[in-house]
Amino acid sequence: MELKIYNSLSGEKEIFRPIHENNVGMYVCGPTVYSNVHLGNVRTFMSFDFIYRSLVHLGYKVRYVRNITDAGHLTDDGDVDNDRFVKQSRLEKLEPMEIVQKYTVDFHKVLDTFNLLPPTIEPTATGHILEQIELTQKLIEKGFAYESNGSVYFDVLEYNSRGLNYGELSRRNIEELFANTRDLDGQNEKKNPQDFALWKAASPAHIMRWNSPWGEGFPGWHLECTAMSTKYLGERFDIHGGGMDLKFPHHECEVAQGKACNGTEPVNYWLHANMLTMNGQRMSKSTGNYILPMELVSGNNDFFEKPFHPAIVRFNFLQAHYRSVLDISNEAMVASEKGFQRLMEAMKLLSGFGFLTSDSSTFDISAWKEKCYTALTDDFNSPILISHLFEAVNFIFKLKDGKETVTEAELKELQHIISGLVYEVLGLQNIEENNNEKLDQTLQVLIELRNQARKSKNFDLSDQIRDRLLAEGIELKDGREGTTYSLS
Ligand code: AMP
Ligand code: ZN
């Protein structure tokens, strides 16, 4: 089955053809780790987690690079004092790298909570300063960039004068861009306002600074993604993703940098994930219209009536296509919870009890499988895929009630396909199973501690562990293979 992907560059759905057969290079812009990620950020990363999982499930070997932006992201390109990390470090009275560490740890924790897989490479901007300096030098040598007061800017007019088109990805017209640009501070050192920083000179108060041929400074935000994607995926690679809001200027600048440096389109397929809204407005830290992921999970917020398990949030997000806007609301979450529970109930029925099989089946499993994979390969259409999953769910409930029949082979096939799609591709987890896993891990820790106590002849403690667990209905049994437990 051919995979079709909507490519923002062409504005069309295209058949996906990777550069190297069966291998995919995918780069996704990561978070700027100067504060906690909000739920909107999580949606974008989850969209690409689903895409990554789908590609792997479809048989591709994926090198998935998602960076950490830990330097250089200014709130606006013209004002050096608006470095997000430096600002936040003053606010929290921490070193900028403590800010980076704190919010990187938070980011990983949040994504783990929502069962996102880690990328295969997670490079940081500060770990690639040399590569960014080299790229800047290359752009100066080729005449696409110029130095001004210790900063280096990309020359957009020069780029366009060579028959290239700044604006090709975001479909913006350069004349309009010029007409609409305000004259911001610091822009007088640029030849024209659309030029963007590759390297910024650091003011004396700027803490995050590195040596360069142009004096002490720090790299521009757009450059880091070109440096890291080129390093790990090559001058031209298959997929580049990010939120819709990054298309301009961030991704437009990446296209320009790549083309100017290497003379080739850097990316074959540009994918843009759409926004999460709340009260119909884009979720964003700056407007205050946001909720933190853990606030939704813990119920500690004023917007939702109750807490929602991360797996239900995940299910809710994937009920929308990644290119559609999704508005989060209490009603939608409650509806998703019901749907999720029904799906999991069906999964349990399917794996646990078994059905009376017959020599005929009333459900055409191969036709159903085809529909599921058609949805998945049609630009990763998760809502349509989920609607097909529910056809199978309805069938499973009817099987249970004896209203449908199935052959043994088809039952096995159904089990195999549905668990692949639900667990591997959608990344959903059975809440109950997940809790059992945690319980198991906890008991293993207690068993180990009890063994240690026995080794050091602290029998008071080892007996206490056994007796107190027994009082909770958990019996430890010592056998030749070690200690096991049973729950009453
Ligand atoms: P940032 O840390 O600001 O660079 O953002 C990280 C990612 O979250 C980017 O890909 C943004 O496009 C994305 N993002 C920001 N706001 C939202 C939102 N409301 N909904 C979905 N994605 C968002
Ligand atoms: Zn980026």
Residue pLDDT, tens place only, 289-302: 999 999 999 999 99
Instruction: Determine the average pLDDT of the residues in 88-92.
Output: 88
Domains held by the chain: number: 3
Q: Give me the domain span that covers residue 321.
A: 277-425
Distance 224 CA to ligand 2 centre (A): 7
Give the end of a domain, one of 425, 448, 478.
425
Per-residue pLDDT band at 165 (split at 50, 70, 90) = very high
Quote the ligand 1 centre to 378 CA distance (angstroms).
24
**Segment 346-405, tens digit of pLDDT:** 999 998 666 778 888 899 999 999 999 999 999 999 999 999 999 999 999 999 999 999
| 451 and 381 housed in the same domain | no
- Taking a C-beta distance cutoff of 8 angstroms, is the pair 348, 418 a contact? no
Does pLDDT of 429 surpass 80?
yes
The bound ligand whose nearest atom lies closest to the alpha carbon of 229 is 2
Inter-CA distances, 18 with 25, 252, 254, 322, 433, Å: 8, 22, 20, 21, 37
Q: Flag whether pLDDT at 26 surpasses 60.
A: yes
- The per-residue pLDDT of the chain, averaged, comes to 93
Question: What's 421's domain CATH number?
Answer: 1.10.730
Q: Counting atoms of ligand 1 from 1, which one is nearest the CA of 246?
A: 12
Query: Quick check: 12 pLDDT over 80?
Result: yes
Considering the domain architecture, whether residues 359 and 245 belong to the same structural domain is answered as no
DSSP count for the chain of H helices, then E strands: 16, 15
Q: What is the mean pLDDT of residues 265-289?
A: 96
pLDDT of residue 292: 97
Residues with beta carbon inside 6 Å of ligand 1? 29, 31-32, 40-41, 43-44, 242-243, 245-246, 275-276, 282-284
Q: Which residue has the tokens 């007061």?
A: 149
- Write the DSSP assignment of 64-114 as a string of letters: EEE-BB-S--BSSTT-GGGBHHHHHHHHHTS-HHHHHHHHHHHHHHHHHHT
Supply 423's token pair. 């667990």
Q: Which residue has the higher pLDDT, 77 or 239?
A: 239
Q: How far is the CA of 171 from the centre of ligand 2 (A)?
A: 19
The answer to whether residue 285 sits within a structural domain is: yes
* Rounded Cα–Cα distance for residues 213 and 455 (Å): 62
Residues 281, 76, 161, 136: is their CA dihedral positive or negative?
negative
Q: Whose CA is nearest to atom 18 of ligand 1?
A: 40
Report how far residue 29's alpha carbon sits from residue 355's, in angstroms, rounded to the nearest whole number: 47
Q: Determine the longest span between alpha carbons in the chain, in angstroms.
A: 83
Residue 90 pLDDT: 86
| Contact indicator for 218, 72 with CB cutoff of 8 Å | yes
Task: Specify the 3-state DSSP secondary structure of 409.
Answer: helix
pLDDT, tens only, 140-162? 999 999 999 999 999 999 999 99
- Whether 433 shows a pLDDT value over 80: the answer reads no
Residue with more model confidence, 116 or 356: 116
* Confidence check: pLDDT of 231 > 80: yes
Q: Which two tokens stand for residue 233?
A: 């995926």
Which residue's CA is the nearest one to ligand 1's atom 10?
Answer: 243
The span from the CA of 329 to the CA of 276, in Å, is: 11
Pairing of β 237-243 and β 267-273: parallel
How far is the C-alpha of 307 from the C-alpha of 200, rounded, in Å?
Answer: 44
User: Residue 348: which of 435, 256, 430, 461 has the closest Cα?
Assistant: 430
Output the CA 276–ligand 1 centroid distance in Å: 9
H or E segment to which residue 445 belongs = helix 431-455
Q: Tell me, yes or no, whether 300 lies in a domain.
A: yes
| Chosen domain end from 372, 396, 425 | 425
- Give pLDDT, residue 397: 96
| Structure confidence by residue, pLDDT tens digits, 94-106 | 888 999 999 999 9
How large is the average pLDDT for residues 251-278? 97
Tell me: do 338 and 452 sit in the same domain. no
Tell whether 357 is covered by a domain: yes
What is the C-alpha to C-alpha distance for residues 132 and 199, in angstroms, rounded to an integer? 8
Which residue out of 41, 76, 277 has the highest number of ligand 1 atoms within 8 Å of its CB and is therefore the one to mutate? 41
Residues 85 and 152 in one domain: yes
Hey, whose CA ends up nearest to atom 5 of ligand 1? Answer: 31
Same domain, 113 and 58: yes
d(CA 279, CA 327): 7
Confidence of residue 79 (pLDDT cuts 50, 70, 90): low
What's the CATH code of the domain at 121? 3.40.50.620
SS3 (DSSP) at 79? coil
pLDDT of residue 432: 76
Q: Same domain for 139 and 123?
A: yes
**Are 450 and 420 contained in the same domain?**
no
Pairwise CA distance, residues 396 & 363, whole Å: 10
Angle, CA 236 vertex, CA 233 and CA 239 arms, to 5°: 70
CA 19/CA 150 separation, integer angstroms: 39
Q: Taking 90 as the threshold, does the pLDDT of residue 228 lie above it?
A: yes
Average pLDDT over residues 248-252: 96
What pLDDT does residue 485 have?
85
Site to substitute for ligand 1 among 26, 38, 44, 88, most atoms within 8 A of C-beta: 44
Model confidence pLDDT, tens digit, residues 293-336: 999 999 999 999 999 999 999 999 999 999 999 999 999 999 99
Q: Can you give the pTM of this predicted structure?
A: 0.88
Closest CA to 392 of 425, 427, 367: 367
Report CA(274)–ligand 1 centroid distance (Å).
9
Phi, psi of 341 (to 5 degrees): -65, -40
